[in-house]
Amino acid sequence: MLKDLRSSPRAVVAGSLIGWGEELEDAFDLVAFLYLPTAIRMARLQLREERRFGKADPAFLAWAAQYDAGTAEGRSLERHRHWLKSRKCPVLYLEGDLSTKDQLGRLLAAHQSLMPQVR
């Protein structure tokens, strides 16, 4: 992935990179953290799983539901917030039920402020 990022300086990477290695984790100009309250996130996740697979796996939903409390192995809100604090680049927090238009506007504004020469 580092090779790809270096050859494509205007790349976007989506997903959690915790534990992928410091060189990759700090290879970005900006990190955006999207967070939704549990009830909204779970409703969207269940709908996505049903559309994709025809049903939602109850074990997966139970694991995903504990994200805020961090009671299971793997991803958790606390772990992500700790990871975000250690980033060398700015972090944009997009928290709450924001519209896609609002999220994109905030993301573009943050990007523009970091790289005013890019238009």
Confidence check: pLDDT of 103 > 50: yes
Classify residue 109: in a domain, yes or no. Answer: yes
38-73 confidence digits (pLDDT tens):
999 999 999 999 999 999 999 999 999 999 998 888
User: Is residue 85 situated within a structural domain?
Assistant: yes
**Residue 119 in domain:** no
In a domain, 86, yes or no: yes
For 16-20, what is the mean pLDDT? 91
pLDDT category at 116 given cuts 50, 70, 90 is low
Nearest one of 65, 37, 33, 34 to 49, comparing CA atoms: 65
Q: What is the pTM (predicted TM-score) of this model?
A: 0.84
Q: Which domain holds residue 90?
A: 17-114
The two three-digit tokens of residue 117, written as one number: 């020469």
Domain for residue 8, yes or no?
no
Q: Is the dihedral of CA 46, 103, 1, 26 positive or negative?
A: negative
